[in-house]
Amino acid sequence: MIVVTGGAGFIGANFVRQCVEEGDEPVLVVDKLTYAGNLENLKTLDADRRLSFVRADICDAPAMADLLRQHAPRAVVHFAAESHVDRSIHDPGQFVVTNVNGTFALLEAARSHVERQGAARRDAFRFLHVSTDEVYGSLDDDDAPFNESTPYAPNSPYAASKAASDHLVRAYHHTYGLPTLTTNCSNNYGPFQFPEKLIPLMILNALEGKPLPVYGDGLNVRDWLFVADHCRGIRDVLARGRPGETYNIGGRNEMRNIDVVRTICSILDEQRPKPAGRYADQITPVKDRRGHDRRYAIDPRRIEAEIGWKPAETFDTGIRRTVAWYLAHPEWVAHVRTGAYREWIDLQYGAAGAS
């Protein structure tokens, strides 16, 4: 079996669903079920005996060691992380605890697990660590995209905590011989994304007639990757990646934030037109995020050449699938948008996010 940490979160749940729906291997989900972890993301898989769940904190080192000892997985796929830049600015300590200490606890558990195995199982084991392009810092408009050799230059507490965890994973491979793999992805979007992130926030605020808060001048650039493409890339790296290596997974879809928001508005104008006016009328500039990185872009040539992965979705096809999913799942949206969620949006964006 494989163990998937953070498997009830956005990317983790999409990965688990893909593994169960397209594969035949048992999957054990480990998730603390914080605000962004939601078992409803896996609800349609309830009857599948290949899927099991343990509620646990990756920072609980004895629990992680016991779990790997009990289940003896052939791989750990590590998604569990605090992942929102804005939250890291408000509460950096939690990001250090989860992303650094939690990864350390998992690596120690994996090291002990591998040392108990025979040679064949030891060589076949993989620890795949899912990271982010934000560890590389920010690009100017004319800079080449990030590649696997780009020096680390994290600019937010979130990015710094992920960079630290990346370095731990690298060290455990080179010091202890743990068969690790690291993937650094660009901005994900798609079904089941918690609505604090840009794309679902814009979709839902638009539908509810609320302002669409856009940081600063809206010209910050991100490289967008449909979540199903990302999950397939992770599965391909798990199957064919070289231990100790890093693979950057990018969608080749660089877009300015304001253009992403305008695209969402245009799709909603088609699929759920307002009685009067257009959704773009709701776009509202807000004060820029502190330390806001200007541009991210990933060069995915290594994973394309070595692994044979390429994204199946363009931004146009992926964003249309995403908008359609949120339109079709109002119950899911209602269940995840708790009072705590509303308080957070109000804190972050003020009247522009909540009015």
Q: Which residues are catalytic?
A: 133-134, 158
Helix (H, G, I), strand (E, B) or coil at 186: coil
Name the phi and psi angles at 351, rounded to 5: -60, -30
State the alpha helices, DSSP H only, in the chain.
Answer: 10-22, 61-71, 85-90, 92-95, 102-115, 119-124, 157-176, 198-207, 227-240, 257-271, 301-302, 315-328, 330-336, 339-349, 351-354
Cross-sheet strand order for the sheet of 51-55: 51-55, 27-31, 2-5, 75-78, 126-132, 180-185, 246-249
Distance from C-alpha of 151 to C-alpha of 148, rounded to nearest angstrom: 9
Give the contacts of 160 (CB within 8 A, at least 6 positions apart): 154
Terminal CA-CA length for the chain: 47
Q: Is 47 exposed, middle or buried (0-12, 13-18, 19+ CB in 10 A)?
A: exposed
- Please give the helix or strand (H or E) that residue 226 lies within, else none: strand 221-226
CB 230 within 8 A of CB 188: yes
State how far the Cα of 355 lies from the Cα of 350, in Å rounded to an integer: 8
Contact 41, 15 (CB under 8 A): no
Question: Within a 13 Å sphere around the CA of 179, how many CA atoms are in the beta-carbon half?
Answer: 23
Angstrom distance (rounded) from CA 212 to CA 258: 10
